[in-house]
Chain A
């Protein structure tokens, strides 16, 4: 069964450093997303991406965050200058076109620890 692949599974970074989280969505999906889950809390939407541009973002997704699809397969989330409160699990997801609401797949997540 097709999967959304995220790398690395764990990342530790120093406060103030830039970090890039990587995702390979399912190949025939066109819509891409990032979500965040702070430890012990619910999963929160960060951003959605379609046709090489951001289609929606939450208030969490401030100027420190950016997303990119640098080639035909990868989808990345960059945090420019990490803060302690950026420590969380980050999930990538992808979905097909409209018509099937259940065609939505999450990756297994990247656990980011900022020290």
Chain B
């Protein structure tokens, strides 16, 4: 079974500052993928960044970077230079390689609500 834990229900950050959203995970799959999604108040799920368990380098996408520490089973999202538009719910999620075929479900954490203060 897979489990994602996000221990920060809410976070505040000053505009233009960096912020780290925590995520820890647990899985028995030998390979897996970790995702971060942003969900604004309008409700859609916006893909931000992906990290494969065998990727040698931490993933980066513009202002988003993923601090992947495999031994600690953590995959924290770092947002640099926060903007007002970053205020949203952020979900950490995992997809494993277990089971036959390619239809592995994604398991989500409970989310962190980020508010950027002007």
Contact = CB atoms under 8 A, between A and B. Distances in A.
A and B assemble together: yes
Interface string B84-118: 00000001010101010111111111110000000
A56 B43 CA distance: 25
A105 B44 CA distance: 12
A56 B108 contact: no
Interface in B37-56: 37, 43-45, 47, 50, 52
Interface string A66-108: 0000000000000000000000010101011111011011101
- Chain B interface size, as a band, is 20 to 34
Interface of B: 31-33, 35, 37, 43-45, 47, 50, 52, 91, 93, 95, 97, 99, 101-111
Given A35-B106, A91-B45, A96-B102, 19 more contacts: A31-B102, A42-B91, A42-B108, A42-B111, A43-B45, A43-B91, A43-B93, A43-B108, A45-B105, A50-B101, A56-B99, A56-B103, A95-B102, A101-B33, A101-B52, A102-B52, A104-B35, A104-B95, A106-B45
Interface of A: 30-31, 33, 35, 41-45, 48-50, 55-56, 89, 91, 93, 95-99, 101-102, 104-106, 108-109, 111
